[in-house]
Amino acid sequence: MSTTAIKIDHAHLAKICDLFKEAERAIKEIEDIGNELIVPAVNQLRYTGNHLVRYLADPSNESELFEAERHCKRASYDAYEAAILYYLKLFHKFKDDYRRVSIASVLPDYAELCLQVDKARKLIRDNNKSKTRGEFYQQCKEHLDVIAGNVKKMDACRDELNKLIKKEWIQLALLVCAVIAAAGGIAAIVSAACS
């Protein structure tokens, strides 16, 4: 019985290893910020493992390496997309929380931040098939960094915006008290004039 040496593609395995680590890092980051496991991304890493096992069982079947690589990239994409959606949710909550306040008075570049966040939203919404997965994956990663930074910047302004809200409530309360006092004064004058 003769044994034939089967060549294992160590360079491709190293590339997959790097992609796997990146996807795992992205999944952990999203899990940390959103306190939720990104199941589709984790499933993609499971599929990666499945293809790697198949390849190791039969190293002549190199297509398994390409499939493993594809699933690693998809895992990262799924994680980044989930993170963008998470930050979009936080962004909309921020806008809703401060819809009655002039946010730009505290955060002068608020309009620009909103435009950048909208670009990330459109990227997810308009994920068309004309882009390659690699291009889309890279854009997701870039937009995630931008939207995360913008949402963190907005959240850092919450204390000042809450002070504005409190100030407006105090002014409103004073105005209501003044109107009530004026109405009481007018009622007293009318009552005295009628007596």
Residue 79 pLDDT greater than 60, yes or no: yes
Residue 2, pLDDT score: 42
pLDDT band at 128 (very low <50, low <70, confident <90, very high): low
* More confident site: 130 or 108: 108
Residue 5 pLDDT greater than 70, yes or no: no
**CB contact set of 163 (below 8 Å; sequence gap of 6+):** none
Write down the pTM of the prediction.
0.73
Tens digit of pLDDT for each residue in 33-64?
A: 877 888 989 999 999 999 999 998 999 889 99
- In the chain, % of residues over pLDDT 70: 91
CA distance 57 to 65: 12
Print burial letters for 137-171: b (CB count within 10 Å at least 16), e (below 16): bebbbebbebbbebbeebeebeeebeebeeeeeee
Residue 4, pLDDT score: 54
Tens digit of pLDDT for each residue in 161-174?
A: 888 877 777 777 77
59 neighbors 6 (Cβ within 8 angstroms): yes
